């Protein structure tokens, strides 16, 4: 028996990286998983991601492993498309128990995205994919979870949402992630009376292929990890295990929390 047998999960941004790991982990616990992404083959952008794939997409990988999965391609910033996905999932599988609102990320170079210099088009894009995408995702699943009187929602912030990087670059990303963390506290207050938990994770440096390319190091190297108490970058499994906690009965009395997954990164660093 899997901890999530009979349950239905939605993972946004599940084409690669952390979202792919969450989708596969939830499927491994027995959940039927609906995976969304702008491009379900986004792994193709990074050689290491592509090399790790055991199927044509995360959906195929789950099916190949004997699980049930569906794929959807759209921008989470498109509210109608997000609501349509939730409706399709409910129609196909009858319920929605878990949402991991993972889609997001930053755009632009750090020195071009400081608090006062960030170009408006990048501010709008990053806000659409992170904050608006999260609001649309949570709003789309809430009516079904309220009807069921149960549900587990996990939103995704970042270390950058709590600590401003030296020099002030990537302000648009950090401010969006801070907004997601605080939005989740409001979400928990609204949905708590319906027996729905809403929590937010704040990953530190997690060695996805994208991050390894960006900062160097990686699980073997860990260049720059000296300010991290555990002296290594995180892995996608480190995060997936926290997702397991937040989407199963282990976390029934946890809501409105912001949970860092950063190996004890020195906040003064
Ligand atoms: N990797 C890290 O170290 C780290 C640290 C802190 C926070 N995060 C957050 O975790 C999440 C996943 O990060 P990752 O490292 O796996 O990123 P990634 O870029 O490797 O993967 C993100 C996936 O989301 C998809 N996506 C992006 N915008 C989308 C949109 N508007 N609609 C639908 N899909 C969209 C992309 O196509 C991609 O497949 C992001 O929200 C990111 O900000 C990651």
For ligand 1, atom 19, the nearest C-alpha belongs to 105
The residue range of the domain holding 253 is 8-205+238-259
Within a domain: residue 76?
yes
Query: CATH number for the domain including 187?
Result: 3.40.50.720
The chain-wide mean pLDDT, for the chain, equals 95
Determine the pLDDT at residue 224: 74
pLDDT in tens, 209-238: 888 888 765 555 566 788 899 999 999 999
How high is the pLDDT of residue 269?
47
In a domain, 182, yes or no: yes
What is the whole-number distance in angstroms between the Cα of residue 225 and the centre of ligand 1?
A: 21
Q: What is the rounded CA–CA span in Å between residue 98 and residue 23? A: 11
Say whether pLDDT at 190 is over 60: yes
Q: Per the domain annotation, does 74 fall within a domain?
A: yes
Q: Whose CA is nearest to atom 44 of ligand 1?
A: 203
Output the CA–CA distances (angstroms, integers) from residue 101 to 88, 169, 254, in the order listed: 17, 24, 18
How many structural domains does the chain have? 1
Q: How far apart are CA 220 and CA 253, in angstroms?
A: 37
Which of 104, 130, 134 is the pocket-test mutation for ligand 1 (most atoms within 8 Å of CB)?
A: 104
**Position 156 in a domain:** yes
Long-range contacts at 37-44 (CB < 8 A, ≥ 24 apart):
37/12, 37/13, 37/71, 37/72, 37/73, 37/103, 38/13, 38/73, 38/74, 38/75, 38/103, 39/15, 39/73, 40/14, 40/15, 40/71, 40/73, 41/15, 42/15, 42/16, 43/15, 43/16
With respect to residue 26, please indicate whether it lies within any of the assigned structural domains. yes
What six digits make up the tokens of 243? 């997702």
Q: Report the pLDDT value the prediction gives residue 266, as an integer from 0 to 100.
A: 80
Catalytic residues: 173
Query: First CA to last CA across the chain, in angstroms?
Result: 44
In a domain? residue 217 = no
Segment 132-171, tens digit of pLDDT: 999 999 999 999 999 999 999 999 999 999 999 889 999 9
Q: Distance, CA 19 to ligand 1 centroid (Å)?
A: 7
Residue 233 is assigned to a structural domain of this protein: no
Q: Kindly state whether residue 82 falls inside one of the protein's structural domains.
A: yes
């Amino acid at each position: 028996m899997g901890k999530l047998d009979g349950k239905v999960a939605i993972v946004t941004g599940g084409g690669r990286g952390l979202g792919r790991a969450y989708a596969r982990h939830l499927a491994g616990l027995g959940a039927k998983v609906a995976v969304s992404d702008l491009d379900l083959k986004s792994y193709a952008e990074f050689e290491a991601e592509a090399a790790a794939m055991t199927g044509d997409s995360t959906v195929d990988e789950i099916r190949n492993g004997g699980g049930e999965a569906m794929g959807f391609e759209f921008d989470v910033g498109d509210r109608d498309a997000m609501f349509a996905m939730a409706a399709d999932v409910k129609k196909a599988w009858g319920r929605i128990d878990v949402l991991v609102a993972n889609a997001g990320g930053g755009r632009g170079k750090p020195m071009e995205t400081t608090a006062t210099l960030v170009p408006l088009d990048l501010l709008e894009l990053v806000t659409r994919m992170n904050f608006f995408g999260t609001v649309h995702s949570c709003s789309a699943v809430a009516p079904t979870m309220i009807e069921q009187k149960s549900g587990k929602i996990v939103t995704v912030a970042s270390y950058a949402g709590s600590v401003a990087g030296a020099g002030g670059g990537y302000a648009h990303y950090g401010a969006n992630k801070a907004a997601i963390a605080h939005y989740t506290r409001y979400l928990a207050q609204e949905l708590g009376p319906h027996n729905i938990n809403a929590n937010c994770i704040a990953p530190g440096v997690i060695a996805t292929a994208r991050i390894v390319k960006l900062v160097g190091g990686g699980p073997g190297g860990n260049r720059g990890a000296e300010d991290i108490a555990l002296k290594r970058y995180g892995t996608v499994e480190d995060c997936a295990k926290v997702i397991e906690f937040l989407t199963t009965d282990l976390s029934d009395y946890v809501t409105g929390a912001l949970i860092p997954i950063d190996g004890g990164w020195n906040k003064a660093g």
